[in-house]
Every structure is written in structure tokens, then in C-alpha cells.
Amino acid sequence: MSVVLITGSSTGIGRRTAETLAAAGHTVYATMRDPGGRDAARAAELVAQAEDRGHDLRVVALDVTSQESADAAVRTVLEEAGELDVVVHNAGHLFIGYTEAFTDDDVARLFDVNAIGAHRVNRAALPHLRERRAGTLVYVGSTSLVSTPPFLGPYVASKAAFDALAVVTSYEVSQFGIETSIVMPGPITQGTDHFANASRASDDRVTAQYAELNPLVERTHEAHEQLFEPGTTADPQDVADEIRRILALPVGKRPFRSVVDAAQAGVEHVMAFSDLTRQAFVRRLGFAERLELKR
């Protein structure tokens, strides 16, 4: 069993993944921004549930927008558990609205959480993983970077950046025995606060100039819900189960990419071709060994 750190564990995919991996026997550090404040009730519930079930789950503060916070969280894991085997990059936020109406500060803030946040956590965790020459980075991405739905412009861009950082980082860390798996969920409209807590654009003046499109924006959640076949739901548990399956596989056998999409948008086919094209180009550059896990 592994020692696992998960970002963004207060709700949705992060919380379900923490619960699922702890139930599977892993030692789980479920992190959230403010477990002593606004996340206190959720943190207490998560810990109490784990104690009742005899699972090894602990809650640690981690704000992915702060390198100091990321460093402190990893340090806590190492001090308590003595090692760290797996990092699950799950923290993220959703923006809904007209792309033009998001200010540069809006977009920068979203990229700070959705893309740079994972980079900060990697900078905190990778020194330990590289020293051990072992470990796994699991990135919870999004099919939106392929499907590019309307009215989610900055979010789609940030998840594309997140995916790109995961890929290019994988070339380097693979040479230190560190595996990468990118799990790409499709739209999940139930069991998460993703849509309910989405932020809107700051520039009200520009937003007002798009007013004729407001009915379309307002039904963004409904539009995603109608993608599913009758009787089918997209549940965060599906993603948690996939992460559990991946971590149960032998070292060196974990998939580089996995799509979990109840909307059946065909993203797995696009990404399979994309990854094959990318790998062929990397080989042409003379860097083929970077595509293989060095053990």
C-alpha cells in the first residue's frame, strides 16, 4: 500500500478519491485549503468517517496557490509517514461566462489554481520522489480540452495548460522512476460543487453587452446534464474508482492516460491519436528514452 497525498479533497472527486483509496488500504493525506476554518466541518466529517471504518486518512492544509503551503503539506506527510509514494493533483475551480468579460486577473487567478497549483505541489514533492527514484503522479484533468464547450473559455484553457505541464514533466521524472497517469473525467454534474460554486466574469460592462446570450449561459449545467443517456449519471465515484484501479496496477504498467466520460464524447480516441503523434515526434527528436520509465 502507498502513502498518498490528494489536493482538493473537501468535495467531489477529491473527497471520493480520498475515501476510496483509504478504504483500499492506502494511507491517505486528504488536503484542503482551510481545514481549520471554512473547510472545518468537511474535514471533521471525513476524519470521523475514516476513524469509524478503521481507515488511515488524515486531513492536512494545502493551498495550491502558495508554494509555502505546498512545501509545508509535503513536509508534514514525510514527518508523519516517513515517505510519500503518490500525489493526486485534483484541486481545481470552474469559471462560467463570456471569455471577453474575464479580466486578465480573473484568468491569471484561474490558471494559478488549475495549472500552476499542480506545478507548485510537484516542486514540493518531487525532490523526495526523485531521491527515492520511485513514485506516481496522478493528474485529474478534463475532457474539456478536447470537447471545448461554450462559455467555459478560461477553464478549458487552464485545463489544457495543466495537461501540457503533466506531459512535459513526465519526460523528465520518468528518468527517476516516477510514473505519470492523467485521468480525464468528462462533465460531472452530480455529487460535486463544481457547477454550483463556479465563478463568473468580473467585467460586468462586457458581460452586459452579451446579454442576448444569457439564457444559454444560464443553462450550462442543464446542457451538460442532458448529455447522458437515460439511466446514466456521471458520478465522482467513477473517477475515484479509476484512480484506485490505476494505483493497484504494477509499477510500470499504469496507463499514461485514462478517460472516464459518461457523456461518451469520443475523447479517448482523440487523445490516443494525439499521444501517438506526440510520442512519434519525441522519438524523431532523439528523446525516445524519455517515454519509458527508468527503473
Catalytic residues: 155
- Could you give the CA distance from residue 180 to residue 288 in angstroms, rounded to a whole number? 16
- Could you give the CA distance from residue 174 to residue 82 in angstroms, rounded to a whole number? 23
C-alpha count within 13 angstroms, C-beta hemisphere, residue 1: 12
- Nine-digit cell at 126? 518531487
Q: Are 228 and 262 in contact (CB under 8 A)?
A: yes
- Could you give the CA distance from residue 158 to residue 198 in angstroms, rounded to a whole number? 14
Q: Are 175 and 294 in contact (CB under 8 A)?
A: yes
Strand 27-32 to 178-185 pairing: unpaired
